[in-house]
Chain A
Amino acid sequence: MSDSPIAVEQHGPELLHHFVDAEQQRDAASLGMWLFLATEIMFFGGMFCAYLIYRYAYYNEFAAGSRSLDLKWGTINTAVLICSSLTVALGVRAAQMGKRKLLVILLLLTIVFGFVFLGIKGKEWHDKYTEHHIPGHSFNADDLVRDYPQIHIDQQHEQIYFSLYFAMTGLHALHMIIGVGIFVFLTYYAWKGRYTPKYYTPIEIGGLYWHFVDIVWIYLFPLLYLIDRKPLG
């Protein structure tokens, strides 16, 4: 009575009852995830806007703050995320080809990369803590003032750089944590054999989300770490 006759014949348990067929369900999921990513762009966009305005106004402080970040760890993290996007893409392919074990391995690798990223980010934040670069009452940028005598550093403006640094990387890290959580679920269900060449939509849209979080980092990295890395002299 409720399902049209055609749908009842051809679908498995993963076809939700309100969809006419699997293709409609897949299209809906895909469109839904792309729209959600558009909202995420607007979400990060607000912060990028604030960043752009203050960077234009307080370039020197932004440059000095940027230099105080450890380029080595930032680069490693960028490489880690790019690799994780590779494992995600390969994972989607594995699902398409029905290779369950390979899929599980790739998803686990992605999670590992995610944890590595978060771990390194935690270390970087800790470094900022020891250097007294966390905005607030204990903020102290005397070290930057000392290191760059040729430009005048206003410590209040420097705080704005670090406020944006923590807000942006913090929001990004939150999205990474959510991404890792999603992938834990995906790994579990993949191991249970739920994803087949006929139905791997969650892998695909989970992958889209992960790629998006990766792309946000690819913007954050140069904006935060690479403002002015010319050799000083």
Chain B
Amino acid sequence: MATAAITAEREHYLNKEYGIRSWLLTTDHKRIALLYLISITFFFFVGGFFALLIRLELLTPAGDLVQADTYNKLFSMHGQVMIFFFLIPSIPAVLGNFLVPLMIGAKDLAFPRINLLSWYLYIIAGVIYIHCIVTGGVDTGWTFYTPFSTAFSNTKVIEAGIAVFIAGFSSILTGLNFVVTIHRMRAPGMTWSRLPLFIWAHYATSIIQLLGTPVLAVTLLLVVFERAFNLGIFDPTRGGDPLLFQHLFWFYSHPAVYIMILPAMAVESEVVACFTRKRIFGYNFVAMSSIAIAVFGFLVWAHHMFVAGISLYAALIFSILSYLVAVPSAIKVFNWTATMYKGSISFTTPMLYAFGFIGLFTMGGLTGLFLACLGIDVHVHDTYFVIAHFHYIMVGGAVMGYLGGLHFWWPKISGRMYPEGWGRLAALLVFVGFNLTFFPQFILGYMGMPRRYWQYPPEFQVLNVLSTAGSTILAVGYVLPMVYFLWSMRYGKIAEDNPWGAAGLEWKTSSPPPTFNFDEAPEVTWEAYNYEEIPAPAEVPVER
């Protein structure tokens, strides 16, 4: 099979048409996924560069690398770029776009042109944001709190707000496409209970994108209007309420974190199933947990506001609800672990990322319990404890999920294998570097180091130095895959249709798939994760 692929170049989605027009005007979901891959990788490195500067500044207690105003812009733009231009699109727009039609046996998403529009909206938003960065940047924190953002900041708040507003519509359209596709375009025999858990999780993600993002959009619109037209909606000197902004902002921004983690959980399910060669333990519970997370995720927003001046009773309610939303996530972790019992486990790069994900997401999730706890949150709110918590989930969880997924489906996407040795090394570097960067921050936070501090008291220095050291290792771990993925597109081993012996419709078509995904429309007569019927590959494919 491999020789046939080399000698007679089969037509697939990458070589069907060449030329920039065929890419920029494509409606093929797989090509759009690659367009997104390139764009979000660019923004990942922009956001990462800001992070590096932040960590360099924090090597010393004094503010001696950049000015205070510059530092404030660095952390604000690090947050906005990473959240709106990297994390939120990452897995859905790259892996989701590529895989959702394949996994359900469809030829494309329901609305291919809207899919392309969604990418263009992302690019327009990105260009506006880059312009904002190079013409001065924004210093409101990623959270745009009023009245600072509306009446006091002297930076490009309006431009940043507009960019994020437009990026939000990109996200909404992706979600809309997925929901309609999953409802209406499943292949014959692909019932809801036969769907891969990847699809369930992306469905839940899309619901959040659809219902939550518009609230952020209108909130940022009000901030932009207030700043541009001197309104007083959030201005306390004119009877406005700054807390109203926080409620509206967090109503989206809390569900947003589930937009970022659910797709990583989606990847986790697929990778764990494949490399334990087993159906995921408790399929129904894992599927329902995704939905539960999406629903409950909308009910907990004010746990970001326990010391903001909300009433005692509101705080009690939101604290209880925040504990409820932790339960489905815990269920998933237990189910993935249970899947490993009596499995047949291989330690490929995707599986290493999967192990890392469980470990780091568990730690991040447990620290969420600390923050949901009213008595503790008063002390650690707005400190490095919170920063460590969300980086454990978003980087230790979501980014590792993204990288694991990229490695797992790379053969399908590119038709090539990445070099396994380098893949494992990068995974290890990411894991070690990540822990060294962020674990000290839990300690810093409980000790009282506030976040968004350009300068800090000297007793915090040792932990900050450790953290910065970790970030350099992490950076290397991130650069490596970019290098070897590019290398593999030319020199990597040619991939078979199903190099991992994985279940799922995407593995039943060629690597890379033809433009319309399947030579013959599939008809599904089997359950998901039918590993008892799929022969394991003789050896896990390795480089050389």
Contacts and interface: CB of A to CB of B under 8 A. Distances in A.
A136 B239 CA distance: 14
A4 B188 CA distance: 13
Contact of B240 (A20, A38, A44, A160): A160
A151 interface: no
B524 interface: no
Given A28-B184, A53-B241, A43 B215 contact: yes
B378 interface: no
A167 interface: yes
Given A18-B112, A24-B185, A35 B179 contact: yes
B230 interface: yes
Contact of B214 (A4, A24, A40): A40
A156 B239 contact: yes
Interface string B100-141: 000000111111101000000000000000000000000000
Contact of A46 (B112, B215, B514): B215
A208 to B, nearest CB: 14
A39 B233 contact: no
A183 B217 CA distance: 25
A2 B210 CA distance: 31
A39 B248 contact: no
A114 interface: no
Interface in B190-247: 210-215, 217-219, 221-222, 225-226, 229-233, 237-241, 244
B239 A44 contact: no
A136 B241 contact: no
Contacts of A157: 238-239
A140 interface: no
A28 B113 CA distance: 14
Given A50-B244, A156-B232, A32 B222 contact: no
A18 B107 contact: yes
Interface in A36-90: 36, 38-40, 42-47, 49-50, 53-54, 57-58
A135 B229 contact: yes
Given A35-B210, A39-B210, A18 B516 contact: yes
Nearest to B109: A18
B521 interface: yes
Given A39-B172, A156-B239, A27 B230 contact: no
A28 B229 contact: no
Contact of B176 (A19, A36, A160, A163): A36
Nearest to B172: A39
B519 A50 contact: no
Given A49-B248, A159-B238, A42 B230 contact: no
A43 B212 CA distance: 9
B248 A50 contact: yes
B368 to A, nearest CB: 26
Contacts of A58: 239
A107 B391 CA distance: 53
B338 interface: no
A109 interface: no
A18 B106 contact: yes
B231 A42 contact: no
Given A38-B210, A156-B238, A43 B176 contact: no
Interface string B159-192: 0000000000000100011011101110000000
A167 B230 contact: no
A154 B239 CA distance: 9
A1 interface: yes
A26 to B, nearest CB: 10
A90 B185 CA distance: 31
Contact of B211 (A39, A50, A54): A39
Contact of A18 (B108, B183, B514): B108
A61 B503 CA distance: 64
Contact of A160 (B214, B232, B251): B232
B110 A164 contact: no
A170 B381 CA distance: 38
A63 B410 CA distance: 62
Of A18, A32, A43, the most chain B CB neighbours within 10 A belong to A18
B326 to A, nearest CB: 25
B230 A137 contact: yes
Contacts of A20: 185, 521
A39 B207 CA distance: 10
Given A18-B106, A32-B180, A53-B244, A135 B230 contact: yes
B107 A17 contact: yes
A46 B248 contact: yes
Given A24-B185, A47-B218, A50-B222, A38 B106 contact: no
Of B110, B212, B222, B516, the most chain A CB neighbours within 10 A belong to B110
A210 B179 CA distance: 23
Nearest to A167: B225
A160 B239 contact: yes
Contact of A163 (B114, B213, B231): B231
A136 to B, nearest CB: 5
B27 to A, nearest CB: 9
A79 B393 CA distance: 53
A2 B239 contact: no
A163 B238 CA distance: 12
Contacts of B521: 4, 20
Nearest to B245: A50
Contact of A42 (B107, B212, B233): B212
A163 B172 CA distance: 27
Interface string B140-171: 00000000000000000000000000000000
Which 3 A-B pairs have CB atoms at the shortest separation, nearest pair first?
A46-B218, A43-B214, A18-B108
29 contacts: A1-B516, A2-B515, A16-B112, A18-B106, A18-B107, A28-B180, A31-B180, A31-B183, A31-B184, A43-B214, A43-B215, A45-B214, A46-B219, A50-B244, A58-B239, A135-B230, A135-B232, A136-B230, A154-B239, A156-B237, A156-B239, A157-B238, A157-B239, A159-B232, A160-B238, A160-B239, A163-B231, A164-B233, A167-B221
Interface of A: 1-2, 4, 16-20, 24, 27-28, 31-32, 35-36, 38-40, 42-47, 49-50, 53-54, 57-58, 135-137, 154, 156-157, 159-160, 163-164, 167, 171
Interface of B: 106-112, 114, 172, 176-177, 179-181, 183-185, 210-215, 217-219, 221-222, 225-226, 229-233, 237-241, 244, 248, 251, 514-516, 519, 521
Given A17-B107, A42-B212, A167-B231, 9 more contacts: A18-B112, A32-B110, A32-B114, A38-B210, A42-B211, A42-B215, A46-B215, A135-B230, A167-B222
